[in-house]
Chains A and B, each alone.
Chain A
């Protein structure tokens, strides 16, 4: 009797410690938000915490300024194109890396992480040289292409991980049941990779939407949102930046919500209509 009580105590102590630890990490993650949100509603014209009073003037400032809105649209465009490109290139590449029996394929697999390892600033300088010759500087799609380089590793890592745990016998079964290759991929393989595909797309989008270094080199006068935010801080420090941050966070939250919606329960969705 006493022993079993000791045991359950032992267990609950462990759970409690883990809970405290998790709470601490969450605080570390979320405290910056607790500062940004109040400041964005500040009535003061400088960054002050806690704010002396509250107003919506900084949101008004953002919405009234066409250069902010343009930067936002440009960033959404670039992030969308980046996502499409990264998925379109990364998913087939993952199939190749996982399924190929070529010697040295493991090495090639590791190499796809290169853009993560190489400092972004180096990639930026390299791309600047190429892009200026191709006249891609100052175009939002130029930034999108550059961001694709950074997003590709995420796609390849996520998709190939889930492809590795996928049972290839299912594809054989589908072939034996009369399916051609495109059908097999579309009806059997991809639906089961769906959670990782959705995560990969989300990460691609965010990595582009939030990216500053490449954008500084490549976006020229047609700025993306992070570049505009950076310039704003350099020129005039006012709480507009906090308001923009909050809006940006909301947009990302929406994307994250969609990810959860489509990424989970993907397995139960009806395929046969």
Chain B
């Protein structure tokens, strides 16, 4: 076999490989495009409906996927509607409280579990992970009784007590992973320099593990903002409700569905998570996948 034929065969092969690659690339883009379109149908329909007047929706004529004369009146109605303002305020309040409580508890615990250790700390780490796997729907009935005993039925504050149980286990788990990856030499150096444990935590661990803290914070935020079962089960007057249940109980009265307003309310309520994810998605994805690929 002469050198030239081998060369040309190799070139041909490289050429066909390159062509295959281009095809695979375009195929991937097209398939991804189809998936994106399917996945984005509901959000798109939410936006379309939120721009319609009640008259246009109840006329039921023409394509439901188009809007004839777009209007912002649904949004304006909600922004000036006192109940909706209360729901929003309650949601923000409870979410902020949950995030703060969860982060304080989980950072302290993760610091202790990853670095200091005590009798039974290994078992506790495992227990924390198992707690993360307990879904809210398993224990909401005994919790109903417990919340009742505490006198917090129909009080929005009971959520600030219960949401951390959903957020803390996973936040602690993420933080243990991030803290463990900090080299031991750093805390030895700090100890030699005479730093206490709390100083070590605040001056070294928290700044170094900031990406993990951001990921855990987003997780706690997501849990608190979107939870539905607890508020549905424990709250029943509108001045105590949060967004997820308030929208349903307030804008659906018997058989009257004000779909335009419901969809506008969904959009307004989804706005904080969407904004947060738009900016901090990378941290969250890194934190979430680190749990599976690292630890």
**Bind each other:** no
Interfacial residues, chain A to chain B (CB-CB below 8 A): none
Chain B residues packing against A (C-beta within 8 Å): none
